[in-house]
């Protein structure tokens, strides 16, 4: 594997009840880059990251990770932030408890967190502006606050690769700025960050690379080279002006 690549997906096909959701996907995601996965609803974006994470079994194909050191347990080196809507927010846990769950791959499920683990959790909560809420039940948080907590949980894992399913969806502007600034900081520290994203208007400002899919692979590469009107049109099967400006086609 090229040392500049973080993830290589080859010939990946995923089907539900014999209906292909992803078809023969070939994608390479570069190390140390902030990468967006784009596509319309039903394009297979969440399915792609779940297949990469091994949460669902593909019909065919393979996924390879490339870490900075050998002999690594890949589960420790890949952090996942699911969509907030897929989480049971009524689960009786405090903000600090949720963040500490991100340390379990290091400390084990049946051991108590050390002072280092707790200090790291609090430091990470401070980074996302949630340290003052550490003792609050997660059910009492707003949607944007919940998203920040889940970002903090992934950060304390101290992984090499971070995979996030629409972390900016439905959050307020303040949370969006906090999250994207953190993602860029992680990228600048050499982390590989892969984000399912929905807002085409912010792609050029937020991301280095982009993967565009609609069941099949449409285009992937640097934002400057592949995020074009032609590829947006091919991906979303409608005129890019409509998508980028929010104005309806005539």
Query: Considering the domain 1-68+160-250 in this protein, what is its CATH number?
Result: 3.40.50.300
Torsion sign over Cα 113, 118, 191, 70: negative
Report the pLDDT averaged over residues 175-198: 94
What is the pTM for the complete model shown?
0.86
DSSP string, the chain: --TTEEEEEEEEEEEETTEEEEEEEEEEEETT-EEEEE--TTSSHHHHHHHHHTSS--SEEEEEE--SSSS--HHHHEEEE--GGGS-TTSS-BHHHHHHGGGHHHH-TTSPPPHHHHHHHHHHHHHTT-GGGTTSBGGGS-HHHHHHHHHHHHHTT--SEEEEESTTTT--HHHHHHHHHHHHHHHHTT-EEEEE---GGGHHHH-SEEEEEESEEEEEEEHHHH--HHHHHHHHSS-HHHHHH-PPP-
Residue 146 pLDDT level (bands cut at 50, 70, 90): confident
CA distance 54 to 84: 20
Q: What is the pLDDT of residues 58-90, one digit of tens each?
A: 999 999 998 765 555 667 789 998 876 666 667
Domain boundaries, the chain: 1-68+160-250, 87-158
Residue 132 pLDDT level (bands cut at 50, 70, 90): very high
Please indicate whether residue 86 or residue 211 has the higher confidence score (pLDDT): 211
Q: Greatest CA separation found in the chain?
A: 62
| Residue 81 Cα distances to 178, 204, 221, angstroms | 16, 22, 23
pLDDT of residue 240: 39
DSSP string, 129-191: T-GGGTTSBGGGS-HHHHHHHHHHHHHTT--SEEEEESTTTT--HHHHHHHHHHHHHHHHTT-
Radius of gyration of the chain (CA): 18
Lowest average pLDDT, out of 2-11, 76-85, 96-105, goes to: 76-85
Residue 239 pLDDT level (bands cut at 50, 70, 90): very low
Arithmetic mean of pLDDT over the chain: 86
Q: What is the pLDDT of residues 28-59, one digit of tens each?
A: 999 999 999 999 998 999 999 999 999 999 99
Per cent of the chain over pLDDT 70 is 87
pLDDT of residue 247: 43
pLDDT of residue 245: 46
pLDDT of residue 246: 43
CA distance 237 to 250: 15
Residue 248 pLDDT level (bands cut at 50, 70, 90): very low
pLDDT of residue 187: 96
CA distance 192 to 183: 9
CA distance 27 to 47: 14
pLDDT of residue 113: 81
pLDDT of residue 90: 73
Residue 203 pLDDT level (bands cut at 50, 70, 90): very high
Closest listed residue to residue 31, CA positions, set 192, 214, 212:
192
């Amino acid at each position: 594997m090229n040392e500049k690549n973080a993830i290589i997906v080859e010939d990946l096909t995923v089907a539900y009840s014999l209906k292909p959701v992803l078809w023969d996907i070939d994608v390479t995601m570069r190390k140390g880059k902030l990468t967006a996965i784009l596509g319309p609803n039903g394009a297979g974006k969440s399915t792609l990251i779940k297949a990469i994470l091994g949460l669902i079994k593909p019909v065919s194909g393979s996924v390879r990770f490339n870490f900075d050191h050998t002999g690594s347990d890949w589960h420790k080196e890949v952090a996942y932030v699911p969509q907030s809507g897929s989480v049971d927010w009524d689960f009786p846990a405090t903000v600090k408890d949720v963040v500490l769950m991100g340390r379990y791959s290091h400390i084990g499920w049946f051991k108590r967190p050390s002072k280092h683990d707790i200090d790291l959790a609090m430091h990470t909560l401070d980074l996302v502006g949630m340290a003052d809420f550490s003792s609050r039940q997660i059910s009492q948080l707003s949607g944007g606050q919940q998203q920040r907590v889940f970002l903090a949980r992934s950060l304390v894992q101290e992984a090499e690769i971070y995979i996030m399913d629409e972390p900016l969806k439905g959050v307020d502007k303040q949370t969006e700025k906090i999250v994207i600034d953190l993602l860029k900081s992680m990228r600048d520290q050499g982390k590989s960050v892969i984000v399912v994203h929905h807002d085409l208007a912010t792609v050029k400002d937020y991301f280095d690379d982009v993967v565009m899919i609609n069941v099949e692979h449409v285009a992937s590469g640097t934002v400057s080279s592949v995020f074009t009107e032609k590829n947006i049109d091919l991906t979303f099967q409608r005129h890019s002006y409509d998508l980028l400006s929010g104005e309806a086609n005539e």
